[in-house]
Amino acid sequence: MSVVSDRLPAFPWDKLEPYKATAAAHPDGIVDLSVGTPVDPVPEAVQKALVAAADSPGYPTVWGTAELRDAIVGWAGRRLGARDLTHRHVLPVVGSKELVAWLPTQLGLGPGDRVAFPRLAYPTYEVGARLARAEHVAYDDPTALDPSGLKLLWLNSPSNPTGRVLSREELTRTVAWAREHGVLVLSDECYLELGWDAEPVSVLHPDVNGGRLDGIVSVHSLSKRSNLAGYRAAFLAGDPAVLGPLLQIRKHGGMMTPAPTQAAAAAALRDDEHVRVQRERYAARRDALREALTGHGFRIEHSEAGLYLWATREESCWDTVADLAGRGILVAPGDFYGPAGERHVRIAVTATDERVRAAVDRLTA
């Protein structure tokens, strides 16, 4: 029996290939809004840090350099309001998707254990549970879950795909519930610095966790806020009782962030100005696409943060995908993120200014 048929679903993006071909046949070329991949330059200071560290012939450390750990701790205190963090509270990882996919396995989960994630969610949460042969369950309200056998609870705020932001009260209630039932909370906060109509809050904030980090870990990425998707730079922050054993497991597995990437990540985390500049780019693209989409008959739901517009015309998501592909615009069908998204599409705001203008022109023609 093949690994895919036995343990994993079919890779969803393969289903989009015919629509991509249709969009690419447009006389003015494709506008690809289906994937949230950065298109803008890597900040100059980050590039310089990478180059300066290019002569790195030795093996890097799994835990990262002291410089990188200092930068993570400083950023988390400055941006997340996290108090009293030390190097024991942080752990670099080789991109956040790798972490999400393999975390249940690294935690030792398996048959009989349960992993929970939002009903509309990034598909890799389910993939991670399947790789560990654990059970997976989707939720609307995490505090309504049956806690029996539940070992790992994924939160995602701001959400991919919907852009929904969990309130401080929702996070506080969920953390308290999880602690009461001995459930580990992993909060995927990779879009946290991209709030538009709401200000995202981290589970590391003392107003949420009561000044304690036991039972909670947050996941952060430099892909979106610093255009470092190609560098594979991410990290965890939170409970050292969780991160310590993970560090040992990852040492055995050789899961090392390359040394030049570590230097670049430290430079990115020390600099807030490039994040402000990138936010302005995304804000302008988001505003232009949102106006064009609503004028074209779409309703935008949630989308108060992150890099996507969660849109519907009250029809099958695949009908919407086909219609937009005929206009040379490629978007992601909502059912990639669960059956609850079958009448929505996810539209990324990560294309270049020129391609966004092309999409706007096609929607308003």
pLDDT along the chain (365 residues), means of 10: 62 90 97 96 97 96 97 97 96 96 97 98 96 97 97 98 98 98 98 97 98 97 96 97 97 96 98 97 98 98 97 98 98 96 98 98 95
pLDDT at 5: 53
pLDDT at 11: 81
Ranges assigned E (strand) in the chain: 31-32, 90-93, 114-118, 135-139, 150-156, 184-188, 216-221, 234-238, 299-301, 308-312, 329-330, 332-333, 345-348
Dihedral (Cα; 285, 291, 294, 298), 10-degree rounding: -10
Query: Beta-carbon neighbour count of residue 87 at 10 Å?
Result: 16
Please tell me the distance from the alpha carbon of residue 289 to that of residue 346, in angstroms, as a whole number. 12
Structural fold of domain 56-270: Aspartate Aminotransferase; domain 2 (3.40.640)
Residues 6+ apart with CB under 8 A from 20: 30, 32, 34, 325, 330
Question: Number of C-alpha atoms within 13 angstroms, CB side, residue 2?
Answer: 5
Q: Is 137 left (phi over 0), alpha (psi -120 to 50) or beta?
A: beta
Task: Write out the two tokens for 238.
Answer: 């939170």
pLDDT at 1: 42
Please tell me the distance from the alpha carbon of residue 183 to that of residue 214, in angstroms, as a whole number. 11
Architecture of domain 3-41+274-364: Alpha-Beta Complex (3.90)
Domains of the chain, by residue range, sit at 3-41+274-364, 56-270
pLDDT at 161: 97
Q: Do domains 3-41+274-364 and 56-270 have the same CATH topology?
A: no
Please tell me the distance from the alpha carbon of residue 310 to that of residue 332, in angstroms, as a whole number. 10
Task: Write out the two tokens for 75.
Answer: 């950023």
Q: Is 353 left (phi over 0), alpha (psi -120 to 50) or beta?
A: alpha
Asked if 104 contacts 184 with a C-beta cutoff of 8 angstroms, the reply is no
